[in-house]
């Protein structure tokens, strides 16, 4: 009887082993979580922009004898900037690679004035010298960028990054040329493309939200507009170069 009892116990133990092993397999450790920064996000931003616009104006010297051209002047292009952004991040260890696009409205505007002296020769009559004043007003109505981002996590919740890529924007230019009692006004709308570079810091506020502080330098390059002037000051060629410094804060919602 003892031998029979021992045999039954051994058989029961052997039959129970697979079930126990199966139970152990079910309780295997869970897979590690997905990277914190990987995924799509969308958000909004607001900040200040502190730009510079440089204007160089000239008129032809072919029909003009002694001249004092308008020359160049720079003025501040400052205002408030705000808009939205969308992007995607890939995380590999402590490194985060991403791409982001944004579109902004701005209140940036600037104005300046240039003075020139032109002398025109009228055959059989003589030389006539005039002073011309060129007033220029410019507004950067909107600005957009498409940028790459490369960052490193200083902790799981904080990201330091550098960014750079394409910048583009729309600029309105109004000019008024006054010569004595005569004047001529013109308006130009230009869409320009250039480049941008900057850096920022971003951190998690909670499960789905991050906040960031970012700086961007923008260069929209130089462009030229030509218009009919007055008296000896015609045609007038106006070349404009726009740069901008942007400091802004942003809030992003992440879909990961």
Q: Domain ranges in the chain?
A: 37-254
Contacts of 52 (CB under 8 A, 6+ apart): 74, 75, 76, 77, 242, 243, 244
Cβ atoms of 224 and 207 within 8 Å: the answer is: no
Give the integer Cα–Cα distance in Å for 223 and 205: 43
- 111-168 per-position pLDDT tens digit: 999 988 877 766 666 667 778 899 999 999 999 999 999 999 999 999 999 999 999 9
Nearest residue to 86 (alpha-carbon basis) of 36, 37, 142, 45: 45
In the chain, beta strands by DSSP E: 39-58, 71-92, 95-122, 126-155, 158-179, 182-204, 209-227, 236-254
For residue 26, what pLDDT is reported?
Answer: 57
Q: What backbone torsions phi and psi does residue 194 show, to the nearest 5 degrees?
A: -155, -140
The CATH topology of domain 37-254 is Porin (2.40.160)
Q: Report how far residue 129's alpha carbon sits from residue 95's, in angstroms, rounded to the nearest whole number.
A: 66
Check residues 17 and 200 and name the one with the higher pLDDT: 200
Confidence class of residue 34 from pLDDT cuts 50, 70 and 90? low
d(C-alpha 32, C-alpha 3), whole Å: 50
SS (H, E, C) 178-223: EECCEEEEEEEEEEEEEEEEEEEEEEECCCCEEEEEEEEEEEEEEE
Count, residues in the chain: 256
> Which positions ≥6 away from 21 have C-beta within 8 Å?
none
> Would you say residue 45 has pLDDT above 70?
yes
* CA nearest neighbour of 97 among 195, 163, 43, 45: 163
Instruction: Tell whether pTM > 0.85.
Output: no
- Contact indicator for 139, 157 with CB cutoff of 8 Å: no
The 10 Å CB-count burial string (b at 16+, else e) for 196-230 is: bebbbebebeeeeebebebebbbbbeebebebebb
pLDDT of residue 197: 98
């Amino acid at each position: 009887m003892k031998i029979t009892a021992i045999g039954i116990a051994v058989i029961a133990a052997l039959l129970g082993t697979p079930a126990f092993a199966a139970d152990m397999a079910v309780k295997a450790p869970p897979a590690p979580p997905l990277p914190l920064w990987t995924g799509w996000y969308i958000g909004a931003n607001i900040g200040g922009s502190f730009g510079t616009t440089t204007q160089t104006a000239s008129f032809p010297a072919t029909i003009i004898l002694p001249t004092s051209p308008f020359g160049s002047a720079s003025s501040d292009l400052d205002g408030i900037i705000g808009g939205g952004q969308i992007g995607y991040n890939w995380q590999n260890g402590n490194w985060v690679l991403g791409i982001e696009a944004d579109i902004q409205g701005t209140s940036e505007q600037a104005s300046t004035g240039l003075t020139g002296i032109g002398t025109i020769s009228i055959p059989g009559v003589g030389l006539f010298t005039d002073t011309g004043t060129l007033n220029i007003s410019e507004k950067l109505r909107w600005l957009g960028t498409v940028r790459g981002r490369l960052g490193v996590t200083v902790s799981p919740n904080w990201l330091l990054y550098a960014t750079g890529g394409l910048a583009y924007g729309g600029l309105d230019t109004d000019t008024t040329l006054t010569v004595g009692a005569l004047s001529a006004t013109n308006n130009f709308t230009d869409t320009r493309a250039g480049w941008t570079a900057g850096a920022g810091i971003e951190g998690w506020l909670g499960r789905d939200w991050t906040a960031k502080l970012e700086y961007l330098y923008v260069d929209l390059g130089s462009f030229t507009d030509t218009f009919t002037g007055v008296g000896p000051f015609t045609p007038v060629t106006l070349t404009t170069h726009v740069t901008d410094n942007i400091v802004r804060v942003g809030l992003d919602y992440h879909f990961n």
